[in-house]
Structure 1
């Protein structure tokens, strides 16, 4: 019984520390060129989970705009954004984190959505209803999903 209580207490402390390390969208610090040096969660990203975010329509759906040869088994790659092949070789983790969180901080004319932003929008809508959003907005991706996508992008080195 004592071991169970100690284990539960340890797990709760670990979860609390992970939450304490999470950076809220409004508290993100961008560098001069839009990079985010600090992890948004304090937890390493999971490249496999990042792959899922990139290919899932209800999440990041990155392949709707970007071609990625490593994801050739996924149909309908887009041509709006740059091809992501080799991006892990020429972009740093901080640069990729900044671009995924809010590409406009690096590329002001970008049409890429800001995946980790909750305010400063001109006319946010309420999903596909055509009506204005009500109440506070959630980011399109969680902090951990951003870290996961960055981890996957860092694997694209060829």
Structure 2
């Protein structure tokens, strides 16, 4: 394979990259594994389609993905989700927790996955006056940097991971916790 052209051998065309690439069949699985974790690759586009039911929930997981609680905890604790800027959570290794939003302790015992999904995707559908950003809605927003226009804060995978983590939080905060 030279200059991306087929050298006569059998190849697989991968077009989920910036341009189509001919990859020898033996290397194709490696490329699929390497690029499968890209946020947009989960659905084929950056923003997943979703439907809000009459009960005010998004029942179906975005893109049909199952969340991973460990990855979700990392999103909540890290800068990607930036959840601890506003919320307290049972993540003791992080020294600073916000108090603007409600604590996340026990949230998994209060809300269903569908209710959490709606709050993460577009919290303004629950409370129009919220200061919580829509983590997976891109239309109708103002003040978005040009390089981020059309891109959600969190991918469908990250939304589902955060939901999986939040559903594990079924205990209230300890009485002596001051956060």
What range is the shorter-chain TM-score in? 0.7 to 0.9
Residue 129 (structure 1) aligns with: none
Give the 5 Å matches for 1:30-45. Answer: 30-32=52-54, 34-45=56-67
CA contact (8 A) 1:117 1:139 kept: yes
Take 2:94 and 2:68, find their aligned partners in 1: how far apart are those partners?
A: 19
Give the 5 Å matches for 1:99-114. Answer: 99-114=119-134
Residue 91 (structure 2) aligns with: 71
Q: Which has the larger radius of gyration?
A: 2
Alignment pair present for 1:27 and 2:49: yes
Take 1:34 and 1:22, find their aligned partners in 2: how far apart are those partners?
A: 26
Change (3 A) 1:53 1:134: closer
CA contact (8 A) 1:22 1:40 kept: no
SS of the residue 1:35 aligns to: coil
Take 2:72 and 2:136, find their aligned partners in 1: how far apart are those partners?
A: 15
> Pairwise CA RMSD of aligned residues?
2.7
Residue 142 (structure 1) aligns with: 155
Residue 143 (structure 2) aligns with: 124
Take 2:151 and 2:42, find their aligned partners in 1: how far apart are those partners?
A: 19
Aligned length, in residue pairs: 141
Change (3 A) 1:27 1:43: closer
Within the candidate set 169, 172, 179, 1:156 is matched to 169
- Structure 1 residues not aligned, in runs of 5+: 127-132
Which consecutive segments of 4 or more residues in structure 1 shift more than 4 A?
A: 19-24
Which of the pair is proportionally richer in strand? 2
Take 1:26 and 1:136, find their aligned partners in 2: how far apart are those partners?
A: 15
Take 1:71 and 1:115, find their aligned partners in 2: how far apart are those partners?
A: 21
CA contact (8 A) 1:99 1:106 kept: yes
Within the candidate set 49, 55, 59, 2:71 is matched to 49
TM-score by length of 2: 0.68
Displacement, 1:27?
A: 2.8
Which of the pair is proportionally richer in helix? 1
